[in-house]
Amino acid sequence: MKDKPLGSVYLVGAGPGDPDLLTVKALRLISQCDALVYDALVPNEMLELVKKDCKCIFVGKRRGHHSTQQSTTNTLLLNLAKSLKSVVRLKGGDPFMFGRGGEEANYLQKYGVSVQVIPGITAGIAASAYFGIPLTHRLAGSSVTFVTGHEGINKKGFSVNWNGLAQSGNSLVIYMGVHNLNYIVKKLLTAGCSPNTPSAVIQQATVIGQRCLKTSLDRLVQDVEIRKFVSPSIIIIGEVVNFQIESIAPPLANVTMPILF
Ligand SMILES: C[S@@+](CC[C@H](N)C(=O)[O-])C[C@H]1O[C@@H](n2cnc3c(N)ncnc32)[C@H](O)[C@@H]1O
């Protein structure tokens, strides 16, 4: 007897929280899929977009929940593709931006599963737009670096070159940086960044509950602690912060964005 053909897995970017920021293609796939496997940064309101008999499976890390191992998620996606036609793997922001989308796509392809990646608006882009900070500016920033503030403990052989970044004059957009902020700021200052370098933190970029702060690099750690900023937050460091255009932010979405660990 012939094996049942494998279904397709769509790695879909959920964007930065507001369902209105989903792409049209993402919305179509979410509303038609047979199973939806989702992350911690996907608000519950997006789960309401699925059809009635769609299986929704949570595989993220959230306060008060166990976190799912990457290998478990990979196997789950493969098993779903064996029995269902269309599986959406919904990831906060963009699947290929600090989202392990590459690892999942690789794994599935090895087993012959057809994979498509549907890009989403990444949090760094959304946070800067919603706080009115242009990430590039002819007078202040000709390049921009998206960087993680939290490197995997099992990672071998490479790490963020904070010295190089400090000297580059780039605008820095730091993901997952709140917990390691003390270390990051020390590295940047030691490598020669001016203590006055304008800096900003934006928590929960596009949804009600959004909080923002603007300060200087030497006060960043202290201000984040005093104001109790938590994850998910984006940190922007660079002269572009001084080019903030206040009052251009779109209205915030009335959805519940989870707080991470
Ligand atoms: C594992 S990374 C995933 C990034 C995601 N793939 C993206 O493209 O935005 C999680 C980090 O993204 C940032 N992040 C994600 N959503 C955010 C939001 N709505 N507001 C602020 N930061 C967010 C935070 O730095 C958070 O710690």
- Residue 249 falls within a domain, yes or no? no
Same-domain status, 92 and 36: yes
Same domain, 135 and 216: yes
Is 176 a known active-site residue?
yes
> Taking 60 as the threshold, does the pLDDT of residue 68 lie above it?
yes
Which band of pLDDT confidence, cut at 50, 70 and 90, is reported for residue 249?
confident
C-alpha distances out from residue 107 to 4, 95, 117, Å: 20, 15, 14
Q: Are 113 and 146 part of one and the same domain?
A: no
Band the pLDDT of 66: cuts 50, 70, 90. low
User: Is the residue at 256 inside a domain?
Assistant: no
Closest CA to 81 of 46, 25, 37, 24: 37
Are 31 and 109 in the same domain?
yes
- Residue written as token pair 């929704």: 56
**Ligand 1: does its nearest atom lie under 6 Å from the Cβ of 197?**
no
Looking at the structure, tell me whether residues 150 and 62 fall in a common domain: no
Q: What is the CATH number of the domain that holds 206?
A: 3.30.950.10
pLDDT the model gives residue 64:
55
The predicted model gives 137-151 an average pLDDT of 91
> 130 C-alpha to center of ligand 1: Å?
14
> For the whole model, what pTM was predicted?
0.94
CA of 115 to the centre of ligand 1 (A): 23
- Residue pair 217/197 in contact (Cβ under 8 Å)? The answer is yes
Q: Model confidence over 231-245: pLDDT tens digits? A: 999 999 999 999 999
- Mind listing the pLDDT tens digit for each residue in 100-115? 999 999 999 999 999 9
Q: How far is the CA of 232 from the centre of ligand 1 (A)?
A: 6
The closest-lying atom of ligand 1 relative to the alpha carbon of residue 41 is 16
Q: State yes or no: is 61 an active-site residue.
A: yes
Ligand 1 atom closest to residue 95's alpha carbon, by position in its atom list: 6
SS3 30: helix
Residue 66 within a domain: yes
Shared domain check, 100 and 26:
yes
Residue 258 domain flag: no
Pairing outcome for strands 35-38 and 198-203: unpaired
Q: What pLDDT score was predicted for residue 256?
A: 81
pLDDT in tens, 198-239: 999 999 999 998 999 999 999 999 999 999 999 999 999 999
Which of the residue ranges 30-34, 75-79, 169-173, 247-251 would you say has the lowest mean pLDDT?
Answer: 247-251
* Residue 144 confidence (pLDDT) above 80: yes
| Ligand 1 touching residue 18 (CB < 6 A) | no
CB of 14 within 6 A of ligand 1: the answer is no
Same domain, 145 and 236: yes
| Separation of CA 60 and ligand 1 centre (Å) | 13
Does residue 135 share a domain with residue 177?
yes
Q: What is the CATH number of the domain that holds 85?
A: 3.40.1010.10
Pocket test for ligand 1, best of 11, 20, 41 (most atoms within 8 A of CB): 41
Q: Is the CB of 204 under 6 A from ligand 1?
A: yes
Q: Are residues 12 and 76 in the same domain?
A: yes
Tell which atom from ligand 1 comes closest to the C-alpha of 124: 9
Domain extent, residue 172, equals: 123-243
Peptide bond connecting 232 to the previous residue in cis, omega within 30 degrees of 0:
yes
Within-domain flag for 250: no
130 and 114 share a domain? no
Give a yes or no: residue 248 inside a domain.
no
158, amino acid identity: F
Q: Among residues 18, 91, 97, 176, which one is catalytic?
A: 176
Instruction: Read off the DSSP letter of residue 253.
Output: B
How many distinct structural domains can be found in the chain? Answer: 2
* 207 occurs within a structural domain: yes
Distance 1 CA to ligand 1 centre (A): 46
Which residues touch 165 (CB under 8 Å, ≥6 apart)?
Answer: 145, 147, 172, 188, 191
Known catalytic residue: 51?
A: no
